[in-house]
């Protein structure tokens, strides 16, 4: 069992208390509304998992751990990283697809060997590729059914946010590395994956998508933060996962990675047709820090579409 940071435990205590306080009301309506009863049972189970330590986080796959451990050595060689990558055929193939994607390809020559791909992409992109594989491995969708569809939709959305985060960091942000922004974008919705996996045991929720979406909207940031902390990612990434939908978040100084992912998530949602109830970008502090409004945002989205598609194909999304 992985250990959470104190702030994750605080989140757990809060939602557990809320779930217990609602127990009487939920029990009273259980016979009348099966969907509401299922939603309550699911939330109660999730809160219980988190609060009593039975929340079994998915293990970080071995090859991803080996990549991360190797990259912690500032003197690590390309050859050593290449040997690790080559030990996992799926990772090797994915890395080559990324190296030859429209987003990363330079020139007309196709890259066909892993060592050249690593030299071209850099170590941070190798790490990002390993993380994308880790997420896919940890949250495998069922072969069919509504869970599979929602997992696939979430995976596509995560790739869009990751690519847009990379583009925004490269074009509009000083002080945030594009590779770090991309990694955070890949992880920003990880709480949704976990909730979907757990919700598979409550089929009534999938008969009323609005109920399930409401649960995910409320819960996925905190659950996602708990996962990335348990997996050992740094605090700025945990904050971004937790606050990527807090449109009013503001702070002194220039844009940070959470601001970038927040804006990328907004743009991706708009590109996917989610326009309702979104405030003007010019009124959102993160957008103001990046000096981006609707017009520039739509231009970035349009100009990035080919990169998004190519990266989605490379990542298998």
Q: What is the pLDDT of residues 88-116, one digit of tens each?
A: 999 999 999 999 988 887 777 889 999 99
Helix axes 294-314, 257-271, angle to 10 degrees: 90
The whole-number average pLDDT for the span 295-312 is 85
Q: Give the range among 67-76, 199-208, 249-258 with minimum mean pLDDT.
A: 199-208
274 pLDDT tier (thresholds 50, 70, 90) = low
The alpha carbon dihedral of 15, 17, 19, 22 has a sign of negative
The pLDDT value recorded for residue 112 is 92
pTM here?
A: 0.83
Distances (CA, A) of 217 to 110, 211, 214: 42, 10, 5
In a 10 Å sphere around its CB, with 0-12 CB exposed, 13-18 middle and 19+ buried, how is residue 85 labelled?
buried
The pLDDT value recorded for residue 126 is 94
Cα separation of 164 and 264, whole Å? 5
The pLDDT value recorded for residue 94 is 92
Q: Is the pLDDT of residue 15 over 70?
A: no
Domains of the chain, by residue range, sit at 6-51, 57-138
């Amino acid at each position: 069992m992985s250990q959470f940071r104190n702030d994750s435990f605080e989140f757990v205590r809060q939602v557990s208390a809320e779930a217990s306080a609602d127990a009487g009301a939920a029990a009273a309506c259980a016979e009348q509304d099966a969907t509401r009863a299922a939603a309550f049972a699911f939330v109660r189970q999730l809160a219980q998992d988190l609060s009593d330590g039975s929340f079994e986080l998915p293990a970080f796959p071995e090859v991803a751990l080996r990549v991360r451990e190797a990259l912690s050595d500032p003197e690590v060689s390309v050859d050593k990283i290449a040997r690790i990558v080559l030990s996992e055929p799926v990772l090797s193939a994915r890395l080559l697809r990324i190296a030859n994607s429209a987003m990363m390809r330079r020139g007309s020559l196709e890259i066909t060997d892993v060592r050249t791909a690593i030299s071209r992409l850099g170590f941070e992109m190798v790490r990002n590729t390993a993380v994308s594989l880790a997420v896919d491995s940890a949250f495998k969708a069922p072969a069919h059914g509504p869970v599979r569809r929602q997992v696939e939709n979430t995976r596509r959305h995560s790739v869009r946010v990751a690519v847009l985060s990379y583009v925004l960091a490269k074009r509009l942000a000083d002080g945030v590395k594009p590779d770090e922004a991309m990694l955070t974008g890949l992880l920003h919705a990880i709480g949704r994956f976990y909730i979907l996996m757990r919700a598979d045991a409550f089929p009534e929720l999938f008969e009323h998508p609005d109920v399930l979406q409401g649960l995910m909207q409320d819960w996925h940031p905190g659950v996602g933060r708990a996962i990335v902390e348990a997996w050992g990612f740094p605090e700025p990434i945990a904050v971004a996962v937790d606050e990527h939908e807090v449109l009013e978040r503001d702070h002194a100084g220039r844009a940070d990675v959470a601001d970038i992912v927040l804006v990328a998530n907004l743009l991706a949602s708009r590109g996917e047709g989610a326009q309702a109830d979104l405030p003007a970008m010019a009124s959102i502090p993160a957008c103001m820090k990046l000096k981006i409004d609707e017009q520039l945002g739509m231009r970035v989205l349009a100009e990035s579409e080919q990169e998004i598609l190519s990266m989605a194909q490379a990542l298998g999304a």
